[in-house]
Amino acid sequence: MPGFFLDKSDPASWRALNGLALKVAEAAEQAGLPRSVMELLNVRTSQLNGCAYCLDLHVRLARDAGVSGQQLAVLPAWRDAAVFSEVECAALAIAEASTLQSGTEALHQELQTARKALTDDQYSCLQWAAVAINAFNRVSILSGYPVRPRTENAAREPETSSRE
């Protein structure tokens, strides 16, 4: 279904959102957060939001960053799978807290646990990353960006689109 492409209707706002993503990526590198951790956060957030376009993009980027197929397969049940590091679990907890925003005591407890596994810079960076991917998800969903079939060889090729 063709949509009203929000990013194309207001390119200045789109550039500002991309600028945020670039700053977050820079902060992640400075904080010592591996790209794989950032992509796990992006994939989990996009799963929760049901953003097909961002899932298609970030699953490929996660694989390229070294996230295993097993990790991607069990991501919705990450708490029950012993395949994630302490930092990865912290990132996933932040992804869920920022996306679901339930405000429960259990959520606050989980964020406190996540906080203990991270430096101040990492904790801040992962929260900003969650804010950014949530915004990208909403732009993609509101715009109705399609996910087109790719051949197996094309699945590893980078997107040529200006999105994300």
Q: Specify the pTM.
A: 0.89
CATH number for the domain that contains residue 115: 1.20.1290.10
Render pLDDT for 74-117 as a digit per residue (tens, 0 to 9). Answer: 999 999 999 999 999 999 999 999 998 777 788 888 889 999 99
- The tally of domains found in the chain comes to 1
Tokens of 147: 């996910």
Q: Give the integer Cα–Cα distance in Å for 145 and 142.
A: 8
Look at residue 145 and tell me if it is in a domain. yes
Average pLDDT over residues 26-41: 98
pLDDT of residue 4: 87
pLDDT of 110 reads 85
Residue ranges making up the domain that contains 118:
12-156
CA atoms within 13 A on the CB side of 111: 20
The percent of residues above 90 in pLDDT, for the chain, comes to 81
